[in-house]
Structure 1
């Protein structure tokens, strides 16, 4: 059972990581996509790199942020593995989305600086390219640029918050437990033949 649960977690994370890294590679190596309108006035690709944290926050240096991200991801993985026996499939899928997204952005921080020649390990900037360009008057509805990894993490967090009652309940386990008879239930069966034999003997006497 644990192997199956680990597979759910690992496969989900791997798929997210694969899609994230492929789309980032595609954007970096295809100039025509680096400023490309998908839905005019709504959605576009706009290639940029983020040296800071989520939402472009730059409080700490890139290496420090990278180290914190790695430590946090390892902590999440350890936490999940410690409780994996009680984890539901829905929960593991959500956590796989989070881990895959985290690994996608960590990969950028480790390798992009080396690939593009502007920094070493942990000095890379996260590749972002998805931009909701919708504006109401002069106000941009969502001014931040993000990537597939961010989408995966956001979907997981929203799902955990909205569908927590379903995600955290193991319905299969509950059904299995409900179908089991208690081991200490008293044996109330009656040995009809034995009772009949006793009654016959009494009548003969």
Structure 2
């Protein structure tokens, strides 16, 4: 792990993160936040800016894709809500929220509400995600851990760097390559395939 970079949790740590988060306060919201972080590779700033309408249509169905506008460099990009785990966690959270809010449920509202009922700001979203990692005992886990896992996992599965770069919203493949975590299992697999 390079100094200063968010750590990519192991599979066992990710499982523990899910269990600890699901047992904590605001569990459905926090599990959905982690799903968005890990399954879409979004930055804390991007997660904090999402509204309900970004992911849910007027009939209550999840969109297949979303356009992110509050990105680094303010360059819009598309994120795909096609992952089954992500969809399940978002639907569970939004279903519970719709039941709780009743007629006050509002598509224009923040997707993830803070304790005060409004949008998280990027800093408080970073703090929340870091806190969830700390509670799960993941040293070095931060808001960028999900983003780094997303890139690392796609690359480990053989996804070409250009596609990963587009999904991450990077202007260059070189930037995406910095997110890739080389792990011993992946290196052994590469060496074995020669």
Please report the TM-score for the alignment, with normalisation by the length of structure 1. Answer: 0.27
Higher gyration radius (CA):
1
Answer 1 or 2: higher relative contact order, Cα 8 Å, separation at least 6.
2
**More helix per residue:** 1
Please report the TM-score for the alignment, with normalisation by the length of structure 2. Answer: 0.28
